[in-house]
Chains A and B, each alone.
Chain A
Amino acid sequence: SAVISQKPSRDICQRGTSLTIQCQVDSQVTMMFWYRQQPGQSLTLIATANQGSEATYESGFVIDKFPISRPNLTFSTLTVSNMSPEDSSIYLCSVLAGALSEQYFGPGTRLTVT
Protein backbone atom coordinates (compact mmCIF):
# COMPACT_ATOMS: atom_id res chain seq x y z
CA SER A 1 0.00 0.00 0.00
CA ALA A 2 0.96 3.65 -0.08
CA VAL A 3 0.22 6.50 2.26
CA ILE A 4 0.06 9.87 0.57
CA SER A 5 0.10 13.25 2.23
CA GLN A 6 -0.56 16.60 0.63
CA LYS A 7 0.22 20.12 1.72
CA PRO A 8 -1.60 22.36 2.15
CA SER A 9 -4.87 20.62 2.86
CA ARG A 10 -6.73 23.75 1.86
CA ASP A 11 -6.01 27.35 0.93
CA ILE A 12 -7.78 30.50 -0.10
CA CYS A 13 -5.84 32.54 -2.65
CA GLN A 14 -6.29 35.76 -4.56
CA ARG A 15 -6.61 35.77 -8.31
CA GLY A 16 -3.37 36.31 -10.17
CA THR A 17 -1.25 34.55 -7.57
CA SER A 18 0.25 31.06 -7.67
CA LEU A 19 0.06 28.14 -5.25
CA THR A 20 2.36 25.14 -5.04
CA ILE A 21 0.89 21.89 -3.73
CA GLN A 22 3.17 19.22 -2.35
CA CYS A 23 2.64 15.47 -2.52
CA GLN A 24 4.67 13.09 -0.38
CA VAL A 25 4.47 9.31 -0.56
CA ASP A 26 5.74 6.96 2.13
CA SER A 27 7.41 4.65 -0.39
CA GLN A 28 9.18 4.94 -3.72
CA VAL A 29 6.76 4.82 -6.62
CA THR A 30 7.30 4.99 -10.33
CA MET A 31 4.02 6.51 -11.39
CA MET A 32 2.59 9.71 -9.89
CA PHE A 33 -0.39 11.63 -11.19
CA TRP A 34 -2.22 14.87 -10.52
CA TYR A 35 -6.00 15.11 -10.77
CA ARG A 36 -8.45 17.98 -10.42
CA GLN A 37 -11.98 17.79 -9.07
CA GLN A 38 -13.97 20.93 -9.76
CA PRO A 39 -16.93 21.69 -7.49
CA GLY A 40 -19.69 19.15 -7.92
CA GLN A 41 -17.83 17.37 -10.68
CA SER A 42 -15.79 14.27 -11.25
CA LEU A 43 -12.03 13.87 -11.30
CA THR A 44 -10.00 14.83 -14.35
CA LEU A 45 -6.41 13.81 -14.92
CA ILE A 46 -4.12 16.83 -15.28
CA ALA A 47 -0.79 15.16 -15.89
CA THR A 48 1.57 12.31 -15.18
CA ALA A 49 4.57 13.41 -13.13
CA ASN A 50 7.67 11.72 -14.52
CA GLN A 51 10.75 11.39 -12.36
CA GLY A 52 13.70 13.14 -13.94
CA SER A 53 11.85 14.48 -16.95
CA GLU A 54 9.00 16.79 -17.89
CA ALA A 55 5.49 15.90 -16.92
CA THR A 56 3.10 14.53 -19.53
CA TYR A 57 -0.02 16.69 -19.74
CA GLU A 58 -3.51 15.68 -20.76
CA SER A 59 -5.50 17.54 -23.33
CA GLY A 60 -6.61 20.91 -22.02
CA PHE A 61 -3.78 21.29 -19.52
CA VAL A 62 -0.48 23.06 -20.19
CA ILE A 63 2.83 23.32 -18.43
CA ASP A 64 2.74 27.10 -18.15
CA LYS A 65 -0.46 26.92 -16.11
CA PHE A 66 0.30 23.77 -14.13
CA PRO A 67 4.07 23.30 -13.82
CA ILE A 68 4.98 20.03 -12.12
CA SER A 69 8.18 18.90 -10.48
CA ARG A 70 9.19 15.34 -9.63
CA PRO A 71 12.66 15.46 -8.08
CA ASN A 72 12.60 11.91 -6.71
CA LEU A 73 10.47 8.78 -6.40
CA THR A 74 8.57 9.91 -3.30
CA PHE A 75 7.77 13.56 -3.93
CA SER A 76 6.09 15.82 -6.45
CA THR A 77 4.72 19.34 -6.61
CA LEU A 78 1.98 20.89 -8.69
CA THR A 79 1.83 24.66 -9.09
CA VAL A 80 -1.37 26.38 -10.08
CA SER A 81 -0.19 29.58 -11.75
CA ASN A 82 -1.88 32.94 -12.28
CA MET A 83 -4.99 31.67 -10.56
CA SER A 84 -8.54 32.62 -11.43
CA PRO A 85 -11.79 31.65 -9.68
CA GLU A 86 -12.21 28.88 -12.27
CA ASP A 87 -9.20 27.16 -10.70
CA SER A 88 -11.13 26.63 -7.48
CA SER A 89 -11.04 22.86 -7.14
CA ILE A 90 -9.74 19.96 -5.15
CA TYR A 91 -6.35 18.87 -6.44
CA LEU A 92 -5.40 15.26 -5.78
CA CYS A 93 -2.13 13.43 -6.02
CA SER A 94 -2.27 9.77 -7.00
CA VAL A 95 0.27 6.97 -7.26
CA LEU A 96 0.55 3.41 -8.39
CA ALA A 97 2.05 1.24 -5.68
CA GLY A 98 2.33 -2.29 -4.44
CA ALA A 99 2.91 -5.59 -6.19
CA LEU A 100 -0.36 -5.22 -8.10
CA SER A 101 0.24 -1.58 -9.04
CA GLU A 102 -2.88 -0.43 -7.30
CA GLN A 103 -3.87 3.20 -7.51
CA TYR A 104 -3.93 5.28 -4.35
CA PHE A 105 -5.15 8.83 -3.90
CA GLY A 106 -4.03 11.52 -1.53
CA PRO A 107 -6.50 13.41 0.67
CA GLY A 108 -6.59 16.34 -1.72
CA THR A 109 -5.91 20.06 -1.50
CA ARG A 110 -9.01 22.21 -1.52
CA LEU A 111 -8.24 25.46 -3.32
CA THR A 112 -10.52 28.47 -3.36
CA VAL A 113 -9.60 31.44 -5.53
CA THR A 114 -11.25 34.76 -4.75
Chain B
Amino acid sequence: AQSVTQLDSHVSVSEGTPVLLRCNYSSSYSPSLFWYVQHPNKGLQLLLKYTSAATLVKGINGFEAEFKKSETSFHLTKPSAHMSDAAEYFCVVSGPNAGKSTFGDGTTLTVKP
Protein backbone atom coordinates (compact mmCIF):
# COMPACT_ATOMS: atom_id res chain seq x y z
CA ALA B 1 0.00 0.00 0.00
CA GLN B 2 1.13 3.53 -0.61
CA SER B 3 -0.07 7.01 0.18
CA VAL B 4 1.14 10.56 -0.03
CA THR B 5 0.28 13.62 2.02
CA GLN B 6 0.91 17.15 0.88
CA LEU B 7 1.01 19.11 4.07
CA ASP B 8 -0.10 22.46 2.65
CA SER B 9 -3.05 22.95 0.34
CA HIS B 10 -1.98 26.54 -0.39
CA VAL B 11 1.41 28.24 -0.25
CA SER B 12 1.92 31.92 -0.96
CA VAL B 13 5.35 33.49 -1.45
CA SER B 14 6.72 36.73 -2.79
CA GLU B 15 8.65 36.76 -6.03
CA GLY B 16 12.34 36.20 -5.40
CA THR B 17 11.84 34.40 -2.08
CA PRO B 18 12.35 30.68 -1.46
CA VAL B 19 9.67 28.09 -2.12
CA LEU B 20 9.03 25.05 0.08
CA LEU B 21 6.28 22.58 -0.74
CA ARG B 22 6.04 19.72 1.73
CA CYS B 23 5.29 16.09 0.99
CA ASN B 24 5.28 13.01 3.20
CA TYR B 25 4.82 9.53 1.84
CA SER B 26 4.04 6.03 2.97
CA SER B 27 4.96 2.92 1.05
CA SER B 28 5.36 -0.77 1.71
CA TYR B 29 8.10 -0.87 -0.91
CA SER B 30 11.08 1.19 -1.94
CA PRO B 31 9.17 4.04 -3.47
CA SER B 32 9.67 6.10 -6.56
CA LEU B 33 8.69 9.68 -5.88
CA PHE B 34 7.81 12.46 -8.27
CA TRP B 35 6.77 16.07 -8.35
CA TYR B 36 4.49 17.27 -11.15
CA VAL B 37 3.31 20.78 -11.94
CA GLN B 38 0.01 21.67 -13.55
CA HIS B 39 -0.55 25.18 -14.82
CA PRO B 40 -4.14 26.36 -15.26
CA ASN B 41 -5.83 24.55 -18.13
CA LYS B 42 -2.58 22.82 -19.01
CA GLY B 43 -1.38 19.23 -18.78
CA LEU B 44 0.85 17.68 -16.17
CA GLN B 45 4.56 18.32 -16.43
CA LEU B 46 7.18 16.28 -14.62
CA LEU B 47 9.43 18.46 -12.48
CA LEU B 48 11.68 15.80 -11.03
CA LYS B 49 11.80 12.24 -9.80
CA TYR B 50 13.55 10.08 -7.23
CA THR B 51 14.17 6.43 -8.06
CA SER B 52 16.67 5.21 -5.43
CA ALA B 53 19.71 6.98 -6.79
CA ALA B 54 20.97 10.27 -5.33
CA THR B 55 18.78 11.52 -2.51
CA LEU B 56 19.01 15.13 -3.67
CA VAL B 57 17.23 15.38 -6.97
CA LYS B 58 17.48 18.35 -9.29
CA GLY B 59 14.66 19.07 -11.67
CA ILE B 60 13.63 21.59 -14.24
CA ASN B 61 13.15 25.32 -13.70
CA GLY B 62 15.46 25.42 -10.67
CA PHE B 63 13.42 23.06 -8.51
CA GLU B 64 14.96 20.34 -6.39
CA ALA B 65 13.79 17.84 -3.81
CA GLU B 66 15.47 15.78 -1.14
CA PHE B 67 14.46 12.23 -0.32
CA LYS B 68 14.67 11.64 3.44
CA LYS B 69 13.86 8.07 4.27
CA SER B 70 14.05 8.58 8.03
CA GLU B 71 11.44 11.32 7.81
CA THR B 72 9.50 9.72 4.92
CA SER B 73 9.58 13.10 3.24
CA PHE B 74 10.20 14.44 -0.25
CA HIS B 75 9.89 18.21 0.02
CA LEU B 76 10.16 20.40 -3.06
CA THR B 77 12.23 23.58 -2.92
CA LYS B 78 13.34 26.43 -5.10
CA PRO B 79 15.69 29.19 -3.97
CA SER B 80 13.89 32.04 -5.68
CA ALA B 81 10.28 32.04 -6.84
CA HIS B 82 9.26 33.43 -10.18
CA MET B 83 5.83 34.61 -11.18
CA SER B 84 5.65 31.80 -13.72
CA ASP B 85 5.94 29.24 -10.91
CA ALA B 86 2.36 29.94 -9.84
CA ALA B 87 0.57 26.63 -10.43
CA GLU B 88 -0.70 23.45 -8.80
CA TYR B 89 1.96 21.02 -7.63
CA PHE B 90 1.43 17.31 -7.06
CA CYS B 91 3.61 14.94 -5.10
CA VAL B 92 3.31 11.39 -6.41
CA VAL B 93 4.43 8.01 -5.14
CA SER B 94 4.59 4.75 -7.05
CA GLY B 95 5.78 1.34 -6.04
CA PRO B 96 7.01 -1.67 -7.96
CA ASN B 97 3.96 -1.56 -10.21
CA ALA B 98 5.13 1.59 -11.91
CA GLY B 99 2.33 3.61 -13.39
CA LYS B 100 -0.10 2.82 -10.59
CA SER B 101 0.73 6.13 -9.07
CA THR B 102 -0.85 7.69 -6.05
CA PHE B 103 -1.23 11.45 -6.21
CA GLY B 104 -1.27 13.85 -3.30
CA ASP B 105 -4.12 16.32 -3.03
CA GLY B 106 -1.98 19.06 -4.52
CA THR B 107 -0.54 22.36 -3.32
CA THR B 108 -1.53 25.62 -4.96
CA LEU B 109 1.46 27.92 -5.17
CA THR B 110 0.73 31.63 -5.42
CA VAL B 111 3.57 34.04 -6.20
CA LYS B 112 3.02 37.67 -5.26
CA PRO B 113 4.85 40.44 -7.08
Contacts and interface: CB of A to CB of B under 8 A. Distances in A.
Contacts of B104: 42
B43 A43 contact: no
A108 B43 contact: yes
Nearest to A94: B99
A72 interface: no
Interface residues of A, number: 20
A41 B99 CA distance: 19
B90 A42 contact: yes
Contacts of B105: 41-42
Contacts of B51: 100
Contact of A31 (B46, B90, B99): B99
A27 B22 CA distance: 35
B100 to A, nearest CB: 6
Interface in A79-114: 92, 94-96, 100-103, 105-108
A59 B90 CA distance: 21
Contacts of A101: 98-99
Nearest to B104: A42
Contacts of A33: 99-100
B44 A48 contact: no
Given A42-B104, A44-B103, A105 B98 contact: no
Interface string B86-101: 0000100010001111
